[in-house]
Amino acid sequence: MRTITQAPTTAVELDLEARLAEVGAIMDGRLALAGLAVDVNSAHIEVDQVEVTVPVLPQTAVPAPYRTPLAALLHRAGVRLETDGWSREALVEEDGRRCPIGAIRREADSRWQADDACVLLLEAIQRHWQADTIPSWNARQTSVAPVLLAFNRAAELAHTRNQ
Report H helices in the chain.
Answer: 16-41, 69-84, 100-107, 111-128, 134-140, 145-160
> 160 or 41, which is more confident?
160
pLDDT tens-digit series, residues 17-59: 888 888 888 888 888 888 887 777 776 656 555 566 666 555 5
Question: DSSP code of 55?
Answer: P
Sign of the torsion formed by the C-alpha atoms of 116, 121, 125 and 128: positive
pTM for the predicted model, two decimal places: 0.61
pLDDT of residue 35: 82
